């Protein structure tokens, strides 16, 4: 193609390895300035030039692209906070504030490259966060022991933290592409090593029964919570968010639709993450009796607390004053009870596998167990039943029943 400009093209000219053009626009502050467009071909630049003219006619035009830091602040406040769950906002905000903005915040959004992101990911895993965040310096002088006194503690981010930071940047740049601020998401082109999960052997039915037997013998006020976790596979937040109106004693059902979450400095009682998480679950006899025991305990707690009682959501599991239980405290109490019962410690979230075997031991019908386990095919449930039908398993549950005075 010749270098001569076509009619109406205006200020299009060769530039480096392609072409460039500019349009005079009015900036948001009322001043006039040139707005440039670049491309590899004349046709590409001509189209951008026409779009700039149309944009200039509609109103003020920004001639500067935001920095990564400025865009991330806008994304958190205008996109994440109003539209996503509070816990998602807390997670994204922490990644932006601690890991992304300090390294990439000053770069122009449209000039962020794949190489920039790759170098950031590589560097992030080698930066001591105690030093970077001045954690040790914020302690009282007598308690300073590492970075503030010249001895780095090498508190490097884990693979999981690095992956979460990259995922937050990728989510933000996806929105930037949608708003046509950039052409491609460079963060999605950078791969990070996946964190390896340490496999932990779940409790056997005998171990779960020993745990519940010990809790029942000690009249543990969280006994019913442990029963629901182990026998129904409920998540920590679902157990803590359970209300009495969701428990149907006559029909023997439990409706799971709310959860308790810690989001920053707030404890929230909110709906479960998705509609698929909401469900009516049949209650085995053991669960029904444990919930009746819990109701009697809570009535006693309410009388003892008097005017200090604060159970505004009518929660099943509360502190002695009716306030929600801190999710982290439930995890710690589970570990404490396991040690007290003489068992090896497992994470609270690792109890779902044990749940299936317990349902077998409780002689729950396979179709009912299928609903509780949320298996799409009955064949999956029957495989569990075939694996966990030993007589000693049933004997272990029998001991638990004896401690509780029979489960009906």
- Residue range 314-353, pLDDT digits in tens: 899 999 999 999 989 999 999 999 999 999 988 888 787 7
Mean pLDDT of the chain, nearest integer = 82
pLDDT at position 62: 61
Which residues does 236 contact at the CB level (< 8 Å), separation at least 6? 229, 327, 330, 331, 348, 349
Q: Hey, what's the torsion of the CAs at 88, 91, 96, 98, to 10 degrees? A: 170
The answer on pLDDT for 391 being more than 80 is no
CB 269 within 8 Å of CB 262 = no
Distances (CA, A) of 99 to 93, 103, 126, 161: 10, 7, 12, 9
**Hey, what are 135's tokens?**
């954690």
Q: Hey, what's the torsion of the CAs at 17, 22, 28, 32, to 10 degrees? A: 130
Q: How does residue 398 score in pLDDT terms, banded at 50, 70 and 90?
A: low
Q: What is the pTM of this model?
A: 0.67
Residues 72, 109: Cα–Cα separation, whole Å? 10
Query: What is 341-396 written as a DSSP string?
Result: TT-----GGGGHHHHHHHHHHTT--HHHHHHHHT-SSHHHHHHHHHHS--HHHHHH
* Residue of 279, 282, 316 whose CA lies nearest to 298: 316
pLDDT in tens, 208-227: 888 999 998 888 999 999 99
Which residues does 33 contact at the CB level (< 8 Å), separation at least 6? 24, 25, 27, 63
Residues 343, 361: Cα–Cα separation, whole Å? 20
256 beta partners: 279
Distances (CA, A) of 154 to 150, 195, 288: 12, 19, 50
Please list the alpha-helical segments (H only) found in 266-306: 285-305
Q: Map out the domains of the chain with their CATH numbers.
A: 12-58 (no CATH), 68-189 (1.10.150.130), 205-403 (1.10.443.10)
pLDDT in tens, 147-196: 777 778 878 888 899 999 999 999 999 998 887 778 789 999 998 888 77
Residues 117, 23: Cα–Cα separation, whole Å? 32
Which residues does 58 contact at the CB level (< 8 Å), separation at least 6? none
pLDDT at position 187: 94
3-state secondary structure of 322: coil
pLDDT in tens, 257-312: 888 878 777 777 777 765 544 567 778 888 899 999 999 999 999 999 899 998 87
Tally Cβ neighbours within 10 Å of residue 229. 24
pLDDT in tens, 107-137: 989 889 999 999 999 999 888 888 888 887 7
pLDDT in tens, 224-233: 999 998 888 8
- The region that residue 23 occupies, defined by phi over 0 for left and psi between -120 and 50 for alpha, beta otherwise, is beta
């Amino acid at each position: 193609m010749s270098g001569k400009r076509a009619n109406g093209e205006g200020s299009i000219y060769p530039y480096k390895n392609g072409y460039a053009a500019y349009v005079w626009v009015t900036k948001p502050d009322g001043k006039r300035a040139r707005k440039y467009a670049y491309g590899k071909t004349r046709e590409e630049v001509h189209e951008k030039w026409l779009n700039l003219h149309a944009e200039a006619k509609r109103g003020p035009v920004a001639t500067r692209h935001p920095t990564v830091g400025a865009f991330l602040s806008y994304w958190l406040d205008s996109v994440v906070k109003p539209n996503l769950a509070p816990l998602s906002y807390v997670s994204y905000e922490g990644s932006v504030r601690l890991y992304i903005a300090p390294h990439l915040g000053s770069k122009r959004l449209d000039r962020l490259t794949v190489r920039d992101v790759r170098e950031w990911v590589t560097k992030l895993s080698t930066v001591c966060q105690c030093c970077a965040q001045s954690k040790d310096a914020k302690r009282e002088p007598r308690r300073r022991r590492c970075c503030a006194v010249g001895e780095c503690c090498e508190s490097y981010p884990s693979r999981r933290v690095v992956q979460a930071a990259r995922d937050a940047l990728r989510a933000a740049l996806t929105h930037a592409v949608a708003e046509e601020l950039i052409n491609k998401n460079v963060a999605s082109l950078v791969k990070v090593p996946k964190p390896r999960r340490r496999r932990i052997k779940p409790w056997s039915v005998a171990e779960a029964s020993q745990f519940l037997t010990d809790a029942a013998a000690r009249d543990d006020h969280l006994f019913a919570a442990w029963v629901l976790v182990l026998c129904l596979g409920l998540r920590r937040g679902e157990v803590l968010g359970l209300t009495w109106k969701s428990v149907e004693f006559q029909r023997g059902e439990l409706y799971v639709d709310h959860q308790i979450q810690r989001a920053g400095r707030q404890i929230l009682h909110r709906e479960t993450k998705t509609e698929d998480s909401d469900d009516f679950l049949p209650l085995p006899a053991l669960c029904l009796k444990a919930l009746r025991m819990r109701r009697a305990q809570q009535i006693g707690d309410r009388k003892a607390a008097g005017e200090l009682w604060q159970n505004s959501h009518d929660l099943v599991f509360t502190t002695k004053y009716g306030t929600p239980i801190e999710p982290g405290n439930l995890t710690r109490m589970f570990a404490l009870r396991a040690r007290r019962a003489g068992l090896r410690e497992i994470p609270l979230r690792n109890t779902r596998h044990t749940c299936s075997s317990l349902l077998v031991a409780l002689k729950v019908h396979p179709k009912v167990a299928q609903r509780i386990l949320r298996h799409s095919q009955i064949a999956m449930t029957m495989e569990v039943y075939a694996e966990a039908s030993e007589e000693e398993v049933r004997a272990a549950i029998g001991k638990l029943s004896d401690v509780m005075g029979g489960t009906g």
